[in-house]
Structure 1
Amino acid sequence: MGRGKIEIKRIENLSNRQVTYSKRRNGIIKKAKEITVLCDAQVSLIIFASSGKMHDYCSPSTTLPDILEKYHKQSGKRLWDAKHENLSNEIDRMKKENDNMQIELRHLRGEDITSLNYKELMVLEQGLENGLAGIRDKEMEYYRQKKKEEKELEEDNKRLNFIMQMQQQEEMGKRQQEMAMEDHHHHQQQQHHHHVMETNGGGGGYHPHHSQHRAAAAAVNYNNGGGNNSNNVNSQMPFSFRVQPIQPNLHERI
């Protein structure tokens, strides 16, 4: 008894639907691999489940972008809108420009120049000379900038040295002023001390001014009649110490 034909319609049961999807997907991918090997065909397969999950397969001898590019050329159908087409053209242009720049860079380094003709070599030489002149101008600009910075540093150094010297001179002036004030104060203290000693009679000490003052006072006292006291003093002194009056020698005058 043969198998009955399965009706092709959406499977309502979610669990049965997922099981069926997994089996059929694996079967389709298996068939794609077989036809790739058996028939040397280029196969690209993309499958999206109802949940949104994607599964794909592409023959090892190609890639999905290559398959899509071939489809676009052979079918004539536009896979991208005008915006994406312009973007693709811009990418191609930038790739070509980058390739040309890489070639020019190799030429500037002296590489791959055997294929260049005389005119191309002259253009290359002119470009190198212009580049060398630009480099020299940049070097001179850098040198001038460094000299300017060096001069500014020297000016700053001179200004700082001048400020330090002024500060040192100011500090020395302050110290000299303080020392002068201290000497003046010490001198005033000494004068005050001498004045106190003179006022108090020397405080028992000897001072030449005091002796002169006493001698002068004694002379004044003697002239004012104080000499009468000498008799009393002589009377009290021993005989051997008494002062005898001096008489003029009459014989010498005759």
Structure 2
Amino acid sequence: MASGVDSFYFLSLGFSLLQVVKCDCMKMVRQKIQIKKIDNLTARQVTFSKRRRGVFKKAQELSTLCDAEIALIVFSATGKLFHYSSSSMMQLIERHRGLSENSDKLGQPSLQLLKENNSYAMLSKMLVDKTRELRNFNRQLMGEELQGLDMDELIKLEKMVDGGLNHVVEAKNDKCLKEISLLKKKESKLMEENAKLKKQAEKSEGTGNGIEQSNSSDCTSNSRGSDTSLRLGLPFAN
């Protein structure tokens, strides 16, 4: 009976020790591995071989599951080449190169557009500043906002106003002379037209007088003929 109890005790103790060892192993497995360069050359080569096969396997699975085109190129620390491609490696490389060139070309207009936008912003600011200066200058020419000007600026502004006024007067006088000349030309043309109309009227009056004289002569001749006929018919009355 005692031997049976001892056996049960040892079995329980062994089971407890197994549980402790299992927990320690699980803790060791779950511990994160620090990612850094492996100093031991042999361990480094073993890790490289395992990880490379794992990466290539994952790439193959990704290509099969998702119908993706994948190309992997790996050089070991000793310079040995390892590669994997789901299709032609050269075709995938050329495709990648073409996309890279297109992306570079697409990036250039963006830089050019950025430069143009900066230039446009500078020109817009210059235009706003120049417009403000011209607006202030026009107000000063009208005699407004003169408080901030010193004596030299006031004298300069006075000369500019006088010069501008002289130009205005000259332009006005020139305009008046041109209008007077135009009116004289119109007057001369009207006088010529009036003279022509007067001559035509006089000519029409002369023609009318000649027709009246001819009609009066015909009437006189007719009256004389009638008198003769009457005189010749008197003897037949007796």
Query: What's the TM-score bracket when you normalise by the shorter of the two chains?
Result: 0.3 to 0.5
TM-score, normalised on structure 2?
0.48
TM-score normalised according to structure 1 size = 0.45
Q: Which has the higher helix share?
A: 2
Which structure is higher in RCO with an 8 Å CA cutoff and minimum separation 6? 2
Q: Which of the pair has more CA radius of gyration?
A: 1
